Amino acid sequence: MAAAAAARHQVDLAGHAASPLTAEAVAASDVIFVMDVLQMRAVERRFPHARGKVFLLTSLADEWPPEVRDPFGQADSVFQACFEQISASVRPIVRVLAESRHLTGESI
């Protein structure tokens, strides 16, 4: 259902697959976004050096609930709402990253 919800917005998830978070990935990351507080706590507990760089995906999207609820096993409308929340939450993050890169001269 997630693929169908994304496809309605011309997003192809065919090549997407979940992967485990590794110590190497955490060390190489400047920022780690998670969907809910339980994930945040789990990441920080498993990788103490990640503290300070783990944030809720919705952290800059004030108009949305603070957590993205897992729509697994629910109706298509719940997947659609989840997709919309994720999309709206990513937009301000992209804006901040683009502004930051512009100020530093780095490319995205």
Q: Tell me the domain boundaries of the chain.
A: 2-6+20-104
Going by C-beta distance under 8 Å and a sequence separation of 6 or more, which residues neighbour residue 87? Answer: 9
Show pLDDT as tens, one digit a residue, over the chain (108 residues): 778 878 888 888 888 888 999 999 999 999 999 999 999 999 999 999 999 999 999 999 999 999 999 999 999 999 999 999 999 999 999 999 888 877 666 665
With beta carbons less than 8 A apart as the criterion, state whether 33 and 57 touch.
yes
What is the spatial distance between Cα 95 and Cα 72, in angstroms, rounded to a whole number? 29
Classify domain 2-6+20-104 at the CATH class level: alpha beta
